[in-house]
Amino acid sequence: MSDKKSNNRNNKKKRFNNNNNSDEEFNPKFRKMRKKVCSMCANKEIVLDYKNYDQMKKFVNEKGKILPRRATGACAKHQREITQAVKRARHIAILPYTQG
Ligand SMILES: [Zn+2]
């Protein structure tokens, strides 16, 4: 009887189970896709008035720049109207062209 070392194959390959790809909630590509509704399309009673300072100041940041659509939530049509109204408000010195 020779001393044969039993050559059991113990090198089982451990598979790395990455369960990370199932976490859709933490995938930054698919963050909460909440449907934005333009506030002026939703409420037809809102009428843009470039002479109304309280309304106009909501569409500019602290530097006096016009906020982008992702900030105002307006649709393309109403964003154009906002832009036009802010520019008119600047012209009649209701809003500043620049600040700070
Ligand atoms: Zn709209």
- Encode pLDDT of 29-56 as tens digits: 666 667 778 999 999 998 999 999 999 9
* Structure-block tokens of residue 70: 């992702």
- pTM as predicted: 0.66
Report the CATH fold assignment for 37-100: 30s Ribosomal Protein S18 (4.10.640)
Q: How far is the CA of 6 from the centre of ligand 1 (A)?
A: 78
Q: How far is the CA of 70 from the centre of ligand 1 (A)?
A: 13
* pLDDT tens, position by position, 75-100: 999 999 999 999 999 999 999 999 88
Nearest-angstrom CA–CA distance, 87 and 21:
48
Q: How far is the CA of 73 from the centre of ligand 1 (A)?
A: 9
Q: Are 81 and 48 in contact (CB under 8 A)?
A: yes
